[in-house]
Amino acid sequence: MSSLTDLSMLELAAKLASREVSSVEATRASLQRIAQVDPKVRAFLRVDEAGALKAAEASDARRQAGSPLSALDGVPLGLKDIFLTEGVETTCGSRILEGFVPPYDATVVRLLKEAGLPLVGKLNMDEFAMGSSNESSAYFPTHNPWDLTRTPGGSSGGSAAAVAAREVFGALGTDTGGSIRQPAAFTNTVGLKPTYGRVSRYGVIAFASSLDQPGPMARTVGDTAALFQLIARHDPLDSTSANVETPDCLTGLEDGVRGLRLGVPREYFADGMDPEVAGTLRASLEELEKLGATLVDVSLPHTKYALATYYLLSSSEASSNLARYDGIRYGLRAKDARGLKELYTQTRGQGFGAEAKRRIMLGTYALSAGYYDAYYLRAQKVRTLIREDFTKVFQQVDAIVSPTSPVPAFKLGAKVDDPLSMYLMDVYTLPCNLAGLPGLSVPCGFTQAGLPIGMQLLGRPFDEARLLRIARAFEREHDFFRRAAPV
């Protein structure tokens, strides 16, 4: 493994600033690492070698002239294939968008380019971000660098696997019900799901518009904070973008947890959790207490309804958002269709995979005239109750601590034929999305078999800086991020 690819983003940025290393060298190291391990990991759908090297050369020229665009100027990054990228095929992991080349950049992609980061390529994902294992990708499943027979999680599994395998220094993912945090927990990486509205969704291919949120994935808490600061901007092109100041998450990152009250929700430590995950989480809680935090037993009573609420609402929004893929405007068009109706049905039948079809059908049913009140409207009311649970708890505590996933990474193929079992993988992450809150997963240990375990932190709206500070206090006591995956 190249020693360059072992560096964190901030470590590489320091070497770029001192001119000890060039961006071209770092980008070539990343590309060489991809060539070496990606045939086994399969994190990338496509690599933009020419574009990345061109951006790296421009970064080196700016460094030489003493005018870098940002502290991370020249640090190579990967993008989940859900972000529109001008001139680069963007498929959202689906056959129905095969061959689609966007004419413009998503806002977060534009911000990264304006900060000078070379974008190495597009990363694999569950089709339209629907899945918890990356197995619903229309192209191929991604493998977990810690055990190639296991999933890296989903839907941002390609992003997590690429970071864990040292193929890129960081990546962007999206989180609709845990799709940044669960893969982070499975791969010994850090994943931040920002507050809804904190990061622009403009140019992000939609799954469920009231739940989707882009966020950073990296190997350290500091890298995650630095990357988050680049993309957390108000965007007038996104009507749901919050007009709040960009946070300074790095200044107070080392302030520790002394004096903070951390809630431990009893509903998140229920039956069904893997014993090693439960034991590691309880040891982590004791460690936070030793570092000066106060643990508070709290209750989120409507958590038991979150799974059903989430899948009703997200599937309803998906059925509406995915109606645009009709074979007329962009992407796949069925050949030999005789008439408009046949064009619609054949294009959608050929282009969507089984999971996308399942959710479109469920959502269409929930929104239908006879069932709207019984399902969709009732789910929205329960969503309000879930949000109120969090509001009450945050009157008592500064943050909430829980497992990220009830189990470590599971075997590829183990749940692909059991959708309900797959949906349960998000049971601890999706309430945060329903409430629009920030959530973060940080590595907290390993099973006896060497599989990573993640700890989840949930915070008040727009309080990402506090979550990063808590995560950094825990990270300081360990060397998890220095442990390289055995791939």
Residues marked as catalytic: 80, 155, 179
Phi, psi for 221 (deg, rounded to 5): -65, -40
Look at residue 192 and give its three-state secondary structure: strand
End-to-end CA distance of the chain: 10
| 124 touches 135 (CB < 8 A) | no
CA distances from 257 to 212, 226, 254 (A): 29, 20, 9
CA distances from 317 to 128, 176, 232 (A): 12, 11, 24
Tokens coding 456: 């989840």
Which is it for the CA torsion 116, 117, 120, 126, positive or negative?
negative
* Peptide bond connecting 319 to the previous residue in cis, omega within 30 degrees of 0: no
Nearest Cα to Cα of residue 43 among 190, 143, 127, 169:
143
Burial (CB count <10 Å: 0-12, 13-18, 19+), residue 414: middle
Tokens coding 73: 């100027």
Round to whole Å and give the CA distance between 236 and 242.
9
The sheet with strand 439-446 has its strands ordered as 44-47, 119-123, 77-80, 170-174, 214-218, 190-193, 439-446, 452-459, 399-403, 261-265, 294-298
